[in-house]
Amino acid sequence: MEPFNFVESISVFDIFKIGVGPSSSHTMGPWRAMQRNIARAHRDSWFDQIVGVRVILFGSLAKTGHGHGTDIAVMMGLRGESVETVDTTQIGPLVAEIKKTGRLLLDGQKEIQFQPLSDIEFRFKETHPGHPNAVTVQSLLADGSVDEATYFSVGGGFVVKEGQQEAIERQQVTLPYYTEKADQTLAFCDDKGFTIADMVMQNELAWRPVDEIRGRLRQISRTMFECMWRGCHTEGILPGGLNVSRRAARLQKDLLPNAPKDFEGWLGALPEIGTGLSANLKAVSMFALAVNEENAAFGRVVTAPTNGAAGVIPAVLLYMFALLTPRPVDPWRAADEFLLVAGEVGSLFKKGATISAAVGGCQAEIGVSSAMAAAGLAHVMGATPAQSFMAAEIAMEHHLGMTCDPIGGLVQVPCIERNTMGATKAITAAEIALSSDPSQARVSLDDVIQTMWETAQDMNVKYKETSEGGLALQIPVAVPEC
């Protein structure tokens, strides 16, 4: 199998996307597939002819679909809700309404009959030959004919229609510094005297003007920070039937008992946590737990580069923003640079390997996010481009072979804690790289990306987001149907 390494231009905003939990491949991907199919129906002028829709989930999408809320995502996508702006508190009531009435407002404008239990089929035993995460949409038309289209959810919320290259469906631009390998990025930086952030910014300018880039980067950082703030102030049991308790709020009470409860006040109080190792480890863990508890509860998160691993980068970013010594002179500007560098690393992994757990196990999620965070942090701490990529290499090297085995198909155990580990490894990797000479390194970032890809291909399928191996077998639970 070749990686889905389309020779394409990937923007930092393709890697970081504002969305909804709990899974980028199993929630956001199918959600977007439904929207893309509706857009096709509008474009080809048969939307008004639709009288019914059937959706078939294959492979990993079926096996862990209930736990990942794939059926809920399908309904939201068919309704035409936006993953970026939907009011996440309304998802539950909207789904309940569809189930109760057996009717769905397609794209918010055309009512059709829709019974989730029969119109969304989970083919647990059938894997599509095109990709482990496949969904087919059958649109029943008024004249009795059926339009059928299949989409692959290839990780990080990216969606490919069967028979098409992803690039065809996305805006194509010519980048001044297009790279597929880390060595090419380093060569451009060396040649032009760029930092990695400089080079990525030059590429981003091919898509949009600088003010828009800065605005979007700020929106990504702020959405991450707000997610951590919400997670740090929400207690209770996570949905799904596994009875997992939220822990971020408990840590918050321990670390910052008197912090203001409002977002800005909380953000401003974080430096009071101090600089001790124990306090910093607890704080970084609290940040990561907060994001992934929100993610598990269908909350608003930023895909980074996936939802299961959405806590690693925000945790390291907020550590940099509020706790790093010495503090960056302009923390918001430092956050922009962090994201640009982290995005470049994510893009290199997507082109050279995979960011899909259904293809590569958890090394493709937590491993990649840890590598991205390590490079971003090292850059802000003053690393050279080669040291930043060395940090990414170190972080991934110690995630190689990590399997995906979520208990009950829910993105909770081991996923939530695993984000804390990815974050702390990223900080360690950045510190090591900053005191190292990359010219002496025995393994390059390109080497470890290639190794991760080969490891992905050797990995038994039961460890690739199927919940058929590892912890998922040791701790069997019957998760009720959503």
Residues near ligand SF4 (CB under 6 A) are 308-309, 357, 362, 365-366, 404-406, 411, 414-415, 418, 465
Beta carbon nearer to ligand SF4, 142 or 473: 473
**Taking CB positions, which residue lies at the least distance from ligand SF4?**
308
Cβ closer to ligand SF4: 114 or 463? 463
Query: Which lies closer to ligand SF4 via its Cβ, residue 67 or residue 343?
Result: 67
Instruction: Output the smallest distance, CB 136 to ligand SF4, in A.
Output: 23
Please say which residue, 135 or 312, places its beta carbon nearer to ligand SF4.
312
For residue 151, list its beta bridge partners: 135, 161
Angle, nearest 10°, between helix axes 277-296 and 248-255? 150
Tell me the residue type at 80: G
When the beta carbons of 397 and 405 are compared against ligand SF4, the nearer one is: 405
- Strand 50-58 with 133-141, pairing: antiparallel
Q: Sign (positive/negative) of CA torsion 120, 300, 337, 209?
A: positive
Measure the CA–CA gap between 286 and 266, rounded to whole angstroms.
14
CB of 456 to ligand SF4, least distance (A): 12
- Contact status, residue 68 vs residue 26, Cβ threshold 8 Å: yes
Cβ at position 157, least distance to ligand SF4 in Å: 13
Work out how close the CB of 404 gets to ligand SF4 at its nearest, in angstroms, rounded to a whole number. Answer: 3
**Residue closer to ligand SF4 (CB basis): 76 or 362:** 362
Name the CA radius of gyration of the chain, rounded.
22
Question: Cβ 344 to ligand SF4, closest distance in Å?
Answer: 22
Q: Which residues contact 218 (CB under 8 A, 6 or more apart)?
A: 332, 335, 336
Q: Is 256 exposed, middle or buried (0-12, 13-18, 19+ CB in 10 A)?
A: middle
The residue (of 337 and 405) whose beta carbon lies closer to ligand SF4 is 405
Which of 349, 366, 316 is CA-nearest to residue 448? 349
- CB of 23: closest distance to ligand SF4 in angstroms? 7
The nearest distance, CB 145 to ligand SF4, in angstroms, is: 38
Q: DSSP assignment, residue 128? A: -
| Paired tokens of 232 | 């740090």
H or E stretch including 344? helix 331-352
Helix boundaries (H) for 232-276: 248-255, 263-269
